[in-house]
Structure 1
């Protein structure tokens, strides 16, 4: 198993993993456009867990300067392991690489937001040493933006 920076050719497998994460088929064209754009953003790090050329997992780390922290913060936006590969330590490998990415970038903190229904994920993050210290509120906006 190796964790590498994702490349354009990894998109088909990553698309499948993101659909698995969201438990729904997503608009492939829109996701690919965002994926390719984000690959060029130095503040976004896409990590893929590969074994024999197959993507077993994916994580994305977004780094930004936040005023209220007075420095850089890394947010683990997505992390997913293929359902058939769960329980094999791949998520922990991806999480460790996300931490390393954040530390290397000089981030003060690593954050993650997780849907309330994903209780297995909550336990995973706690095992990684994270603490549930915040609430996240959302509002759907007009799609015309």
Structure 2
């Protein structure tokens, strides 16, 4: 059975490994500080799924107030389940928990940006009720 809880800074190595599996290697030098920063932010939730004492999933949520809409929205910025745990309900449990948090915070929608090459993730999101949105634009500030 999977448990979902708030992230601890001591989860940093496991989260770094999960991020590496998503294509974000090299987070070890700064991940503990980044986790501390996110945990201190009032509009952030950083969750882990555990199987016993082992972290098998991570999800980072941002709650964003809207100016022109009545409800806020919740953005999933990072979401990864350990490859060995995929298909076992860990991802669905994390997403369901996140949905409950979003509703409790006054959100009327969830949003996730998922790279076009992550087709397995797209199938997962569609099963959870997500629909495609027309366009997502990005501007790099580090070039």
**TM-score, normalised via structure 1 length:** 0.90
Quote the residue 2:15 is aligned against: 14
Q: Which moved more, 1:1-10 or 1:64-73?
A: 64-73
Aligned residue number for residue 62 of structure 2: 62
Structure 2: segments with no counterpart, 5+ residues: none
CA distance in 2, matches of 1:26, 1:67: 37
**Change over 3 Å in CA distance of 1:133–1:88 after alignment to 2:** same
Measured in 1, the distance between the counterparts of 2:55 and 2:30 equals 21
**Structure 1 or 2: more helix by fraction:** 1
* Residue aligned with 1:108, SS: strand
Structure 1 residues 34, 134: closer, same or farther in 2, change over 3 A? Answer: farther
TM-score, normalising length from structure 2?
Answer: 0.92
**For each residue in 1:59-90, what CA deviation from the matched residue of structure 2 results, as whole angstroms up to 9, or x when unmatched?**
11100212243442110111110011111111
1:101 aligns with 2:101: yes
CA shift, 1:122, in A, is 0.8
Structure 1 unaligned regions, length at least 5? none
Partner of 2:127: 127
Displacement after TM superposition at 1:24 (Å): 4.3
Q: Alpha-carbon deviation of 1:29?
A: 2.3
Q: Let me know the Cα RMSD of the aligned residues.
A: 1.5
Query: Displacement of 1:141 after TM fit?
Result: 1.8
Take 1:54 and 1:116, find their aligned partners in 2: how far apart are those partners? 30
Number of paired residues? 142
